[in-house]
Amino acid sequence: MNTTDLSTVGAGFSDLAIGSQAVFRAALEALSHPGRIVDLPHDAAVPAHGHAASAALLLALLDPDCKLWLSPSLATSDAAAWLRFHCGCVIVEDPSQAQFAWIAGDDEAPALDRFAQGSDTYPDQSATCVVDVPSLADGADVEGWTLRGPGIRTQTRLCVDGLPQERARKLIAQRAAQQAAFPRGVDLFLATEHQIVGLPRTTRIELEA
């Protein structure tokens, strides 16, 4: 990265420790309560490309030991330079090498089984994927996805508005195929500009008719 590139990179959290802790708490809440929409406030000067909540989430989670895969439009944008500069992470071209992935809303995502799945002994060595989506709504009266599993009392519903139905079907079918391999599998975050939803590998998802 040259000097010109560095001069255009936006700032990270104004206070690294406080900012990272706040975002990390939001991520834990989202994973502990799958399907719950969690606000993700932050003060980072996020990249112009990709959703702000996704950028802030990765800013808190990544470090120099992490490998990150970016979908095509993000890999060639200011998002790559911003995360490399602030986190020191390594950006890889092979999804199977990445501990984290960020997928822009308009990009085609690789199949989940192309990402690191972990192992029965070390399930924590799997990938976490952050997927940009246009908008989210949750609650018993919304239509879209039905969620069941740990962290959900009986079931809850999630509406992922703007995600093409064919893409949603593929994602849910891939998640269902991974259930048999538990504890291996990929954890997901869905992110709008200001909110996230956690979908850990233990969450079962059904697409309503």
Residue 139 clears pLDDT 80, i.e. is over it: no
Centroid of chain to Cα 21: 17
> Residue 85 burial by CB count (10 A; 0-12/13-18/19+): exposed, middle or buried?
middle
Give the model's pLDDT for residue 5. Answer: 55
Please state the pTM of the whole predicted model. 0.92
Q: Give the closest residue to 85 by CA, choosing from 3, 24, 26, 23.
A: 3
The residue type found at 152 is I
Sketch the domain layout of the chain as residue ranges: 12-134+186-202
Give the model's pLDDT for residue 4. Answer: 37
Give the model's pLDDT for residue 2. Answer: 38
Tell the CATH topology of 12-134+186-202. Answer: Rossmann fold (3.40.50)
What tens digit of pLDDT does each residue of 69-117 get? Answer: 999 999 999 999 999 999 999 999 999 999 999 999 889 889 999 999 9
Residue 20 clears pLDDT 90, i.e. is over it: yes
Q: CA 130, CA 163: separation in Å to the nearest integer? A: 14
